[in-house]
């Protein structure tokens, strides 16, 4: 079908890349709205948000930042490898990125469990007696919405990278079919960028 | 990422990717270290400035934005402009409360 629409492979590649960049733009604006909400509520409840940030597990947050950055590198390395027709290093790179993505989710679930046990749940389920004010409830509601939405993107990214790794393993992604790897890589890098901003706002800025 | 299918590409070095990884991890460490300093309100601005720098590295080296076609770059510029508009609106709202 695409061959009929695009007589020139260049056109197809350009269209696919442009489509992905537009999708990533819309995804970025989705998160931007949540960041705007965070900024607005933080201005209204500065001390509660600062205490909420200090209460979060900075070690897990920081470890997850390193995990996603390294995974992003491996995805970029996978794309670099397939351009050189090196299937095996590409497959290994994607596999490592998937494992790192799963590591991120495991660490996140440990953190979620800690919060929920302490009653730091989103919305009406917030029941902490340690941090009782309304500002804390808002902070943790935003925390769960922002990190939860991001985690869903991580799950989607892991699924895409796994599918790509399987295709590379089966030899279906050859050097002349690398566009799909580049597009999958772009998505994963956006997931990394979103976390790069979530991390300081939810784990570091406690002063 | 602007390679074209069926078009032979010259073999590029993976060195920029490794350098970018090291820079990103170093900036992460710096950001974490700075969070322990008492900079008051400036701590958030410094943290966001470092995060923006890191995002720039990812866009440049991993996502290869400089190699992207002009329409793709326009999409990025428009997205960043909308975010700037959102930031301006939020700051104005907070300042006028």
A86 touching B, CB under 8 A?
Answer: no
Q: Do B75 and A9 touch (CB under 8 A)?
A: no
Which chain A residues have a beta carbon less than 8 Å from that of B62?
Answer: 72-73, 75-76, 185, 189, 192
- Residue A176's pLDDT band (cuts 50, 70, 90): low
- Shortest alpha-carbon distance between residue A68 and chain B (Å): 11
Q: Do A185 and B62 touch (CB under 8 A)?
A: yes
pLDDT beyond 70 at A170: yes
Q: Among A39-48, A94-103, A126-135, B32-41, whose mean pLDDT is lowest?
A: A126-135
Return the number of CB contacts < 8 Å for A and B: 154
B2 or A142, greater pLDDT: A142
Q: What was the pLDDT predicted at A174? A: 61
Q: Among partner residues B2, B7, B89, which is closest to A17 by beta-carbon distance?
A: B2
Sign of CA dihedral A191, A203, A69, A92: negative
- Residue A194's pLDDT band (cuts 50, 70, 90): very high
ipTM over 0.85: yes
Question: In 10 A of CB A30, how many CB atoms?
Answer: 12
Asked whether the beta carbons of B63 and B1 are under 8 A apart, the reply is yes
- Shortest alpha-carbon distance between residue A177 and chain B (Å): 6
- Residue A171's pLDDT band (cuts 50, 70, 90): confident
Q: Note the pLDDT tens digit of each residue in B60-72.
A: 999 999 999 999 9
Average pLDDT over residues A158-179: 83
Report the distance separating Cα A33 and Cα B94, nearest Å: 16
Q: Do A9 and B17 touch (CB under 8 A)?
A: no
DSSP state of B63: S
Q: Among partner residues A32, A176, A190, which is closest to B86 by beta-carbon distance?
A: A32
A57 touching B, CB under 8 A?
Answer: no
Three-state secondary structure of chain A: CHHHHCCCHHHHHHHHHHHHHHHHHHHHHHHHHHHHHHHHHHHHCHHHHHHHHHHCCHHHHHHHHHHHHHHHHHHHHHHHHHHCCCHHHHHHHHHHHHHHHHHHHHHHHHHHHHHHHCCCCCHHHCCCCCCCCHHHHHHHHHHHHHHHHHHHHHHHHHHHHHHHHHHHHCCCCCHHHCHHHHHHHHHHHHHHHHHHHHHHHHHHCCC
pLDDT beyond 60 at B1: no
Task: Reduce the DSSP state of residue B64 to 3 states and report it.
Answer: coil
Biggest CA pair distance of chain A: 65
Q: What was the pLDDT predicted at B47? A: 95
Write the CA distances from A64 to A60, B11, B38, integer angstroms.
Answer: 6, 32, 24
Q: Among partner residues B9, B21, B61, which is closest to A70 by beta-carbon distance?
A: B21
Report the distance separating Cα B45 and Cα A105, nearest Å: 28
Task: Reduce the DSSP state of residue B13 to 3 states and report it.
Answer: coil
Task: Reduce the DSSP state of residue B7 to 3 states and report it.
Answer: coil
Q: Do B51 and A196 touch (CB under 8 A)?
A: yes
Task: Reduce the DSSP state of residue B35 to 3 states and report it.
Answer: coil
Q: Note the pLDDT tens digit of each residue in A105-141.
A: 999 999 999 999 988 888 878 877 777 788 889 999 9
**What percent of chain B has a predicted confidence (pLDDT) above 70?**
89
B14 or B40, greater pLDDT: B14
Sign of CA dihedral A114, A115, A118, A121: negative
What part of A 170-199 touches B (C-beta under 8 Å)? 176-179, 182-183, 185-186, 189-190, 192-193, 196-197, 199
- Please tell me the total number of residues recorded for chain A in this structure: 207
Q: What was the pLDDT predicted at B5? A: 47
HSE-up of A155 (CA within 13 Å, CB side)?
9
Q: What was the pLDDT predicted at A184? A: 96
A201 touching B, CB under 8 A?
Answer: yes
Q: Do A25 and B38 touch (CB under 8 A)?
A: no
Q: Note the pLDDT tens digit of each residue in A11-52.
A: 888 899 999 999 999 999 999 999 999 999 998 899 899 999
Q: Where do the domains of chain A lie, and which CATH numbers do they carry?
A: 31-204 (1.20.120.80)
Q: What was the pLDDT predicted at B20? A: 97
Q: What was the pLDDT predicted at B15? A: 92
pLDDT beyond 50 at B4: no
Which chain A residues have a beta carbon less than 8 Å from that of B72?
Answer: 17-18, 21
Asked whether the beta carbons of B50 and B30 are under 8 A apart, the reply is yes
Average pLDDT over residues A142-157: 97
- Residue A158's pLDDT band (cuts 50, 70, 90): very high
């Amino acid at each position: 079908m695409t061959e009929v629409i695009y007589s020139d492979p260049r056109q197809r590649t350009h269209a696919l890349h442009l489509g992905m960049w537009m999708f990533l733009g819309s995804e970025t604006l989705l998160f931007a709205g949540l960041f705007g909400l965070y900024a607005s509520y933080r201005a209204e409840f500065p001390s509660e948000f600062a205490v909420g940030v200090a209460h979060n597990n900075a070690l897990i947050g920081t470890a997850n930042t390193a995990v996603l950055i390294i995974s992003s590198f491996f995805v970029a390395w996978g794309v670099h490898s397939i351009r050189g027709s090196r299937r095996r290093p590409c497959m290994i790179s994607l596999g490592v990125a998937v494992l790192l993505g799963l590591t991120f989710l495991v660490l996140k679930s440990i953190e979620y469990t800690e919060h929920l046990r302490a009653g730091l749940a989103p919305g009406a389920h917030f029941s902490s007696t340690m941090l009782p004010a309304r500002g804390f409830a808002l902070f943790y509601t935003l925390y769960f919405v922002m990190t939860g939405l991001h985690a869903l993107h991580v799950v989607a990214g892991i699924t895409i990278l796994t599918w790509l790794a399987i295709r590379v393993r089966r030899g279906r992604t050859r050097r002349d079919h690398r566009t799909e790897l580049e597009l999958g890589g772009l998505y994963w890098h956006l997931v990394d960028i979103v976390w790069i901003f979530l991390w300081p706002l939810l784990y570091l800025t406690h002063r | 990422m602007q390679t074209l299918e069926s078009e032979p590409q010259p073999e590029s070095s993976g060195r920029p990717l490794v350098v970018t990884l090291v820079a990103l991890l170093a900036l992460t460490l710096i950001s974490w270290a700075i969070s322990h300093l008492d900079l008051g309100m400036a701590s958030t601005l410094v943290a966001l400035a470092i995060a923006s720098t890191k995002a720039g590295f990812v866009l440049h080296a991993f996502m290869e934005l400089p190699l992207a076609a002009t329409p793709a770059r326009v999409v990025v510029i428009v997205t960043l402009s909308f975010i700037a508009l959102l930031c301006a609106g939020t700051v104005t709202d907070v300042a006028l409360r």
